[in-house]
């Protein structure tokens, strides 16, 4: 099949004969994807997931898939003339994302629920729904690129490094990647997205971006966890790594590795940081900044998107991200099994935390090679 015969989504059909399910959160990004594809003549079906309590969601700003957002997605579909469905995934979302989030925090980890949501809800259950609707592919508003490679679809960082969402999509499997499309990945700036929304006269053209984790109002993780797990805020001791007891705390769930402010142990000769959370002993362990330095990072649940098996080589030089806001670091990945590895950072990194993702990148290019979850 010649490239000239493929449509803009890389499929050998006319747009009118190509059904695309668009995952619509109600925000500007996914709305623009749906509107652009509808304007190109594709057979667009919009689907929005109701992920958590609708009544509570109505009053929550700055989060996706709330009641207001469901309404906004429906308005976009009506304005562009394509069907729109709302699916109740509340029980699925709680079981697959929220419960693990709470349990991970209670265990002293720092989870990333947005990755689990993509992995277990949007790119698994919703993708299967798209196939049930006889869609040829599913499109989302994520800022990441899918490119045709010699051995199938490849995942690449977005053209706009500020908007790049590759850290949150590392667990996308090869099979899912073959079916998914990310039309916004090549845009240079968010301003271009808003200009497209204005061109289509979309009611969400000026809608602010979502900032918080959708089920964590105002970023208050501790309040949410205490609601989900009553008694989770059990008090304990703040302990120096040399064994000294320096004070008391109101629950390990109120602290994160690397935290310096708000420890309530002022008056000491040196600044101290949270270096470890011992949930079993109810200890917040603190120490000097140097104690946060890490060179060896164990990872599990590796999702590998390379062209050969993950454990085909004893080690690989790659770049890795150990948190979403940091640039990639030079590293060597040594597989210890089909889905586990030891990552050696060539320079020490501060505050690497269990529960975060370690995402693998081409050190010379834009390709994303998957990644894994940081474990103790």
C-alpha 230/C-alpha 245 separation (Å) is: 27
CATH 2.30.30.280 domain range(s) in the chain: 233-287
**CATH domain 233-287 topology:** SH3 type barrels. (2.30.30)
pLDDT band at residue 256 using 50, 70 and 90 as cut-offs: confident
Q: Using one digit for the tens of pLDDT, what is the confidence trace for 54-80?
A: 445 444 555 555 578 899 999 999 999
Strand partners, 334: 342
Tell me whether residue 214 is one of the annotated catalytic residues: yes
Mean pLDDT of the chain: 90
State yes or no: pLDDT of 196 exceeds 90. yes
Which tokens is 221 given? Answer: 């993780």
pTM for the full predicted model: 0.90
In this prediction, residue 215 carries a pLDDT of: 82
d(CA 97, CA 113): 6
Of 209, 48, 206, 51, which Cα lies nearest the Cα of 143?
A: 209
Residue 19 scores a pLDDT above 60 = yes
Res 58: pLDDT: 41
Q: State what percent of residues in the chain have pLDDT above 90.
A: 69
- Digit-coded pLDDT (tens) for 20-56: 999 999 999 999 999 999 999 999 999 999 987 644 5
Query: Looking at residues 190-219, what average pLDDT do you find?
Result: 86
CA angle 231, 235, 237 (to 5 degrees): 150
Any idea which of 62-66, 118-122, 224-228 has the lowest mean pLDDT? Answer: 62-66
Q: CA 1 to CA 91: how far, in whole Å?
A: 43
Pseudo-torsion of CA 57, 59, 60, 64, nearest 10°?
50
When mean pLDDT is compared across 152-156, 229-233, 260-264, 279-283, the lowest value belongs to: 229-233
pLDDT digits (tens, 9 = 90+) for 298-349: 999 999 999 999 999 999 999 999 999 889 999 999 999 999 999 999 999 9
The pLDDT of residue 54 is 46
The correct answer on CATH 2.40.30.10 for the domain covering 293-374 is yes
Residue 184 in tokens: 């916004």
What are the residues whose beta carbons fall under 8 Å from the beta carbon of 304, sequence distance 6 or more? 310, 360, 369, 370
Residue spans of alpha helices (H) in 164-277: 174-179, 190-199, 221-228
In the set 64, 65, 114, 117, the catalytic residue is 117
pLDDT for residue 12: 95
Spatial contact of 202 and 248, defined as CB atoms under 8 Å apart: no
How high is the pLDDT of residue 264?
A: 86
Contact indicator for 212, 219 with CB cutoff of 8 Å: yes
358 included as an active-site residue = no
- Return residue ranges of the chain for CATH 3.40.50.620: 3-218
Mean pLDDT is lowest, of 23-37, 136-150, 210-224, 250-264, for: 210-224
Of these residues, 65, 137, 214, 358, which one is catalytic? 214
- Please give the pLDDT value at position 57: 42
pLDDT at 233 over 90: no
Whole-angstrom distance, CA of residue 96 vs CA of residue 89: 10
Distance set, CA 336 to CA 143, 207, 258, 368 (Å): 32, 46, 28, 20
Quick count: other Cβ atoms within 10 Å of Cβ 208?
A: 10
What pLDDT, on a 0 to 100 scale, did the predictor assign at position 34? 97
Is the domain covering 3-218 a CATH 3.40.50.620 domain? yes
* Helix and strand counts by DSSP (H, E) for the chain: 10, 17
């Amino acid at each position: 099949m010649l490239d000239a015969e493929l449509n803009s989504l890389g499929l050998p059909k006319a747009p009118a004969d190509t059904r695309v399910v668009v995952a619509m959160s109600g925000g500007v990004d996914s709305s623009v994807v749906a509107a652009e594809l509808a304007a190109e003549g594709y057979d667009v079906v919009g689907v929005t997931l109701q992920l958590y309590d609708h009544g509570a969601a109505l009053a929550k700003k700055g989060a996706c898939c709330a009641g207001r957002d469901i309404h906004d997605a429906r308005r976009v579909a009506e304005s562009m003339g394509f069907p729109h469905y709302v699916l109740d995934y509340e029980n699925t979302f709680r079981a697959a994302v929220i419960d693990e989030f709470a349990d991970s925090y209670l265990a002293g980890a720092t989870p990333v629920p947005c990755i689990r949501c993509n992995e277990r809800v949007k790119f698994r259950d919703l993708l299967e729904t798209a196939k049930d609707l006889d869609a040829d592919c599913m499109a989302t508003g994520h800022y990441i690129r899918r490119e045709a490679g010699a051995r199938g679809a490849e995942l690449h960082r977005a053209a706009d490094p500020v908007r790049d969402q590759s850290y949150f999509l590392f667990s996308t499997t090869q099979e899912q990647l073959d079916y998914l499309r990310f039309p916004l990945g090549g845009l240079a700036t968010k301003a271009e997205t808003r200009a497209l929304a204005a061109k289509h006269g979309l009611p969400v053209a000026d809608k602010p971006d979502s900032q918080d984790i959708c089920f964590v109002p105002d970023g208050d993780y501790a309040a949410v966890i205490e609601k989900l797990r009553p008694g989770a805020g059990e008090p304990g001791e703040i302990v120096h790594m040399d064994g000294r007891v320096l004070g008391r705390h109101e629950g390990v769930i109120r602290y994160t590795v690397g935290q310096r402010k708000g420890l309530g142990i002022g008056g000491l000769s040196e600044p101290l940081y949270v270096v470890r959370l011992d949930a079993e002993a109810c200890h917040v362990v603190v120490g000097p900044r140097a104690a946060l330095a890490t060179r060896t990072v164990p990872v599990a649940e590796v999702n590998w998107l390379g062209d050969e098996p993950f454990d085909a080589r004893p080690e690989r030089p790659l770049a890795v991200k150990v948190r979403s806001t940091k640039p990639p670091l030079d590293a060597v990945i040594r597989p210890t099994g089909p889905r586990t590895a030891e990552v050696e950072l060539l320079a020490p990194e501060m505050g690497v935390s269990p529960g975060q993702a370690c995402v693998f990148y081409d050190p010379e290019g834009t390709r994303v090679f998957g990644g894994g979850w940081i474990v103790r």
